[in-house]
Amino acid sequence: MVVQRDTANRARLPVRGICPAQTSRIQARATALNGGQTTGWTIVTSPQATTFAGSLTVVGGWYQLDVQAISDDSTILANWTVGRVGAGEVFLVMGHSVAASEDKYAIPAATDDRATAIPLTDSLQHQRYNQTGSPNDLPSLNFTQFGEGVAPAPYGKGPYFWSRFAELVAQRTGVPVLVLNAAFGGTNLAMWWQSAQGVPFTHPFVRSAIGMPYANLKNALINYIPQTGVRAILADHGQNDFPNKDVMQLIGFYEGIIQQARTQLGFTIPVVVNRQTPFLTTDPQRHIRQVQQTVADQPGNYSGPDYDAGLQPTDRYDGIHLNASGQEKAAQLWANAISDAFLQTATPFTPDY
């Protein structure tokens, strides 16, 4: 598990479970595995009957968490160990296919175990989710190393470049990184805004009747973020909207999606906005770049990668989507956007344990 740290590099790790009836107190200890600081045994809560819920405060890092149930006479009644628990960074991706996945090209996934995801491993469950859009049909908080073959909840298709991004951020900051991917290939800002507002639309494969595509973002905010926290939404949107030349309308769509997400969580989530001009070298759609930059300049938002400056024409095989070299560079560009200055100013949402 990875829990979002605060701006002071601290996080509260949840300590919850069922204990013997004779338990009078629960104590916990975090042992630093990679970064962080080992704690001593600390009383975190007293049980209610045979259940307990408390938290242990740690600094950013990767830990083994040990928990003990103690009786009135200081007898150890039970022991539990969780091998990998992190205080680090959590990011939620939204957008269309450039943010979601790439079928034609792939780059190696992360090998650092601090790059983490909640994996989509149950194909039948995922089929149900595609029919219902219900958070009940998403996986629970089961974490894994974000390596080869891992599709990150709620809607990721594979490691893509986000696995490498997580690894780069973990290696630079020294803390674990969790990535949730809510992006939906083939969608645009209009669809996201309409589904966020409950406005029906017709599309061959995007089911507005179940709230798609915004349902992915909504469900991440309902299912996962209250328990993990989040530093920021990483937004890559607009490229599929190039036929629409109404800049103000597109800005309204983009800002409306962000505002709905913030309303959903009851918190002004920082949003990092990618900039990319579709068909830059052949038929540049510069109004899309204008939309993205205008949104990035709004309060609470941040300018993210600049694909126009950071990628070569050959990195986007069709003027929009990323080949292998483009994915390698995109991972680094997004990691660079999570700068020390950003981490010092972007106030994260932290869970209330």
Q: Domain limits of the chain? A: 2-86, 89-345
Characterise 194 by phi-psi region: left (phi > 0), alpha (psi -120 to 50), beta (else).
Answer: alpha
- Cβ–Cβ < 8 Å for 150, 115: no
**Per-residue pLDDT at 245:** 97
Q: How far, in Å, CA of 35 to CA of 32, rounded?
A: 6
Whole-structure pTM value: 0.96
**What top-level class would CATH report for the domain 2-86?**
mainly beta
Q: Is 215 in a helix, a strand, or coil?
A: helix
Band (325; pLDDT cuts 50, 70, 90) = very high
- Which CATH architecture fits 89-345? 3-Layer(aba) Sandwich (3.40)
Q: Indicate if the pLDDT at residue 352 is higher than 90.
A: no
Q: Which helix (H) or strand (E) holds 218?
A: helix 214-223
**Residues 126/180, Cβ–Cβ less than 8 Å:** no
- Residue 329 phi/psi, 5° resolution? -70, -40
The pLDDT score that the predictor gives to residue 276 is 95
How far apart are alpha carbons 263 and 257 in whole angstroms?
10
- Is residue 112 predicted with pLDDT exceeding 90? yes
What pLDDT sits at residue 243?
95
| Partner residues linked to 34 by β-bridges | 62
Question: Is the pLDDT score of 214 beyond 90?
Answer: yes
Per-residue pLDDT band for 212 (boundaries 50, 70, 90) equals: very high
Residue 64 has pLDDT above 90, yes or no: yes
State the sign of the Cα–Cα–Cα–Cα dihedral 225, 216, 120, 108.
negative
The pLDDT of 186-206, averaged and rounded, is: 96
Nearest to 217 by CA among 95, 44, 110, 128: 95
As a whole number, mean pLDDT of residues 296-312 equals 97
